[in-house]
C-alpha cells in the first residue's frame, strides 16, 4: 500500500514515540540563498536592438510576449523561448522576432503574425485573434475561392475609386453653387414667383439666415422667418414657402463679398453684426449669363 509519509522502524523499548515514530532528521547547516534573478527573455528595453531597428516597447500583452515599435511603421513583437517553441515549425522565427508590415484595406491575407496570434490567443485581444483566424481560413481556402475573393476586392477597389470621384465632383459643384448662390436663388425664385424682382434676407452675426422675403418691388409675394424657439412663420403659397426654406440653407455661410460680386446689395452691419442682403433678380441672372458666355468662349478657344 502507498503511504503519504515515510516511516522508519525503531527497536522495541526505544522511547520518543515507540517503534513507529517519525524518522528524526538533523537540521541542515546549509543556508539557502535567494534564487538568482531571472530576466524575462521576451521583455525588451527602450532602444534595444531588433532586426527592424531600435525598439520602443509599449505593451506587454502577456508573459513571454512583448510588443514594440520602431522608427518604421509596422506591427512587431518578440516571444520568449517557451512561447516561440509553440509556434509551428513552418512559421517559427529562430530569433523569436515577428513582424507584420502589409496591412491592406480589405485584403484578407494571412502572415506569420496571424499564426502567432492563433497560437497564443491569451496574449491578444479577442478581435485580433478572430481576424487572424479569418485570414488564415481564406489563405487555406481552395485556389478558386481565393481568385473569386481577389476579383471581389478588385471590383470593390474600383467602386471606391468611383465613389471618391463622385464625392469630389459633388464637392466641386457645391462650391460652385455657393460661389454663385445669388444667380441660383434668382432663377429658382422666378420659377416659383414669376412676378418677383427682389429677394432680401436677414443674416445674423453668426451667418445664419433669420428671414427671407420675395417682392415685386412694392408688395411681398412670399416670406419665411426662423424664430429663436425654432418656429417658422411664412406667407404666400405653400410651394413658395417650401422653396424659400431651401433658399435659407443655400444662403447661409456664403461670404458677403461673393454675393456682392453678383450684384447683391449689402447693408451696414448693426451692433450685433446683423445685415440685410438684397438680390436684384434680373441683375443677378444677367451676370450669370455673362459668366456662362465667358466660360463657353474660353472652352471653345
Local confidence pLDDT in tens for the 301 residues of the chain: 333 333 334 445 545 544 444 455 555 555 555 444 444 555 777 878 888 877 777 766 688 888 887 776 677 888 999 999 998 888 888 999 998 765 444 445 667 888 889 889 988 888 888 888 887 877 666 555 555 555 655 665 676 777 777 777 776 766 666 778 888 898 889 999 999 999 999 999 888 899 999 999 889 999 999 877 778 888 888 888 888 988 888 888 888 888 888 888 999 999 999 999 999 998 888 887 776 665 554 555 5
Q: Which residues contact 136 (CB under 8 A, 6 or more apart)?
A: 110, 114, 115, 118
For every residue of 107-176, DSSP letters joined together read -----HHHHHHHHSGGGS-HHHHHHHHHHHHHHTS-HHHHHHHHHHHHHHHHHHHHHHHHHHHHHHHHHH
Give the span between the Cα atoms of 183 and 188, in whole angstroms: 9
All cell numbers assigned to 175: 462650391
∠ Cα 232 211 236 (to 5°): 65
Q: Which of 157, 175, 249, 268 is nearest to 209 (CA)?
A: 249
Contact 180, 259 (CB under 8 A): no
β pairing state of 97-100 and 265-266: unpaired
**What is the CB neighbour count within 10 angstroms for residue 219?**
7
Amino acid at each position: 500500500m502507498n503511504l503519504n509519509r515515510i516511516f522508519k522502524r525503531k527497536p522495541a523499548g526505544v522511547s520518543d514515540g515507540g517503534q513507529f515514530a517519525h524518522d528524526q532528521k538533523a537540521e541542515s547547516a546549509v543556508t539557502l540563498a535567494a534564487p538568482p534573478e531571472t530576466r524575462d527573455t521576451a521583455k525588451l528595453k527602450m532602444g534595444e536592438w531588433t532586426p527592424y531597428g531600435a525598439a520602443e516597447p509599449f505593451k506587454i500583452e502577456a508573459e513571454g510576449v512583448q510588443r514594440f515599435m520602431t522608427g518604421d511603421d509596422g506591427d512587431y513583437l518578440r516571444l520568449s523561448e517557451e512561447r516561440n517553441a509553440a509556434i509551428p515549425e513552418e512559421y517559427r522565427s529562430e530569433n523569436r522576432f515577428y513582424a507584420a508590415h502589409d496591412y491592406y484595406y480589405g485584403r484578407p491575407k494571412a502572415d506569420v503574425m496571424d499564426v502567432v496570434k492563433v497560437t497564443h490567443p491569451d496574449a491578444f485581444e479577442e478581435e485580433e485573434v478572430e481576424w487572424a483566424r479569418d485570414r488564415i481560413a481564406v489563405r487555406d481556402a481552395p485556389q478558386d475561392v481565393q481568385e473569386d475573393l481577389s476579383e471581389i476586392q478588385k471590383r470593390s477597389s474600383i467602386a471606391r475609386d468611383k465613389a471618391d470621384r463622385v464625392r469630389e465632383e459633388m464637392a466641386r459643384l457645391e462650391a460652385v453653387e455657393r460661389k454663385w448662390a445669388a444667380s441660383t436663388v434668382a432663377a429658382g425664385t422666378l420659377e416659383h414667383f414669376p412676378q418677383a424682382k427682389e429677394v432680401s434676407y436677414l443674416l445674423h452675426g453668426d451667418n445664419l439666415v433669420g428671414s427671407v422675403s420675395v417682392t415685386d418691388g412694392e408688395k411681398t409675394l412670399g416670406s419665411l422667418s426662423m424664430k429663436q424657439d425654432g418656429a417658422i412663420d411664412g406667407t404666400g403659397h405653400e410651394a413658395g414657402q417650401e422653396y424659400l426654406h431651401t433658399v435659407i440653407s443655400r444662403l447661409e455661410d456664403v461670404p458677403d463679398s461673393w454675393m456682392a460680386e453678383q450684384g447683391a446689395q449689402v447693408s451696414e452691419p448693426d451692433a450685433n453684426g446683423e445685415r440685410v442682403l438684397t438680390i436684384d433678380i434680373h441683375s443677378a441672372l444677367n451676370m450669370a449669363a455673362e459668366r456662362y458666355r465667358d466660360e463657353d468662349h474660353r472652352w471653345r478657344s
